[in-house]
């Protein structure tokens, strides 16, 4: 059994993700910098000190499990680097969930809607658990596509005031209890 002392990386290390991750991970983000959050062994126990959860420097999103051989150490960024990335993400998400921002930017973001924006739109139409009971990405995707089909024509053609009035008529999830 390997010990976490044997790990190549530590929390806060800034790494570069390889361009070629192999065919089985071709759907993962690649060729960018990220910060190490923890290894599988640190989070769940056991001996797997070669699988890593990373925090993307650019977006602040976390993804698991990259492998040690796919990562190149750049520098130790520490908790300060993690905090900086998470704070920038919080600021960006606050902007991207503001209805006025969504409406004024809809025509430029509608073909690639930011995740926080889509989450806010789903919430406003009554979808309170977009990931479903098992946290499945396909469930989130289906909910997002249904929300797009419903709201794209409205967001493309109406003013902020008209859209706020529309959302005011949607029953809140807590109202239906």
Assess contact for 71 and 9: CB atoms under 8 A.
Answer: yes
pLDDT for residue 142? 96
pLDDT for residue 29? 92
CB atoms closer than 10 angstroms to residue 39: 25
In terms of CATH architecture, what is 4-84? Roll (2.30)
Cα–Cα distances in angstroms (integers) from residue 90 to residues 21, 30, 84, in the given order: 29, 23, 10
E-state strands within 78-117: none
Of the CA atoms within 13 Å of residue 66, those in its CB half-sphere come to 34
- Distance CA(19)–CA(33), nearest Å, equals 11
pLDDT for residue 177? 47
Per-residue pLDDT of the chain (177 residues; tens, 9 = 90+): 455 567 899 999 999 999 999 999 988 999 999 999 999 999 999 999 999 999 999 999 999 999 999 999 999 999 999 999 999 999 999 999 999 999 999 999 999 999 999 999 999 999 999 999 988 889 999 999 999 999 999 898 878 888 888 888 877 766 544
Every domain of the chain with CATH number 2.30.30.30 lies at 4-84
For tokens 């126990």, what's the residue? Answer: 45
pLDDT for residue 4? 59
42-51 b/e (C-beta count within 10 Å ≥ 16 → b): beeeeebbbb
- Distance CA(9)–CA(164), nearest Å, equals 48
């Amino acid at each position: 059994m390997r010990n976490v002392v044997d790990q190549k990386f530590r929390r806060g290390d800034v790494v570069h993700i390889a361009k070629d991750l192999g065919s089985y991970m071709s759907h993962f983000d690649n060729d960018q910098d990220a910060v190490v959050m923890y290894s599988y062994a640190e989070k769940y126990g056991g001996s797997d000190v070669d699988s890593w959860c990373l925090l993307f420097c650019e977006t602040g999103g976390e993804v698991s499990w990259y492998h040690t051989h796919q990562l190149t150490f750049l520098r130790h960024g520490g908790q300060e680097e993690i905090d900086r990335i998470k704070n920038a993400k919080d600021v960006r998400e606050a902007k991207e969930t503001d209805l006025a921002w969504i409406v004024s930017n809809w025509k430029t973001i509608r073909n690639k809607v930011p995740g926080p924006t889509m989450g806010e739109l789903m919430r406003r139409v009554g979808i309170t658990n977009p990931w479903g009971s098992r946290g499945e990405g396909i469930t989130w995707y289906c909910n997002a596509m249904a929300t797009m089909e419903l709201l794209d024509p409205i967001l493309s053609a109406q003013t902020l005031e008209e859209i706020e009035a529309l959302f005011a008529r949607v029953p809140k999830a807590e109202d239906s209890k």
